[in-house]
Amino acid sequence: MDWQDYIVWAIGLAVAALLVRRLRCFVQGRRKSGCASCDSTHCPLKAARRGHKTGRR
């Protein structure tokens, strides 16, 4: 195997890992961003929806 083959395998593994991570987040219903309305990670509306008293953990 040449070095190009190793590079192709590394890129393929990175893409596969990214797809698995995105699929897991999609199935669990989580997103990386914050609140859907204000995009804040410490939104009181987001915290109220989850049942927390504050938006911080």
Note the pLDDT tens digit of each residue in 3-55.
Answer: 999 999 999 999 999 999 988 877 877 655 556 666 666 677 666 666 655 54
On whether the CB atoms of residues 42 and 55 are closer than 8 A, the answer is yes
pLDDT of residue 7: 96
Separation CA 15–CA 46 (nearest Å): 31
Separation CA 55–CA 47 (nearest Å): 5
pLDDT of residue 55: 46
pLDDT of residue 47: 62
